[in-house]
Amino acid sequence: MFETYVFCLTAANLVLLGALLIIYVRNLLKVRAAFTVGLLLFASILFVQNAASLFMAVTEMKSFAMMAELHVLILTGLQTVALIVLNFISWR
């Protein structure tokens, strides 16, 4: 029921994380600081997690129970909002 929304939100998260990775790589090339490396690692790990989630959504979402599907949708939606805010702040 919610698999299309989960797929779209997870794909949006990958795009948002890709934008953040571009920012963080540019910042790392300018400022060699531990904080910048930490941001780059954080975004990279989240990118891998979302790529795995997208794979799971495409291949195994049909086997999700309705309740689990709703939880995944809510958590993915919250993550999307958080990434939008982080992108907004980072691009300023």
Range of the domain at 11: 3-91
Instruction: Give 3-57 pLDDT, tens digit per residue.
Output: 788 889 999 999 999 999 999 999 999 998 888 898 999 999 999 999 988 888 7
Question: pTM here?
Answer: 0.80
Do residues 37 and 84 touch, judged by C-beta distance below 8 A? no
For residue 66, CA distances in Å to 35, 54, 55, 61, 63 come to 40, 18, 19, 10, 9
Q: What is the DSSP letter of 61?
A: G
Query: How does pLDDT run across 48-80, given as a tens digit for each residue?
Result: 999 988 888 778 766 666 667 788 888 889 999
The number of domains in the chain is 1
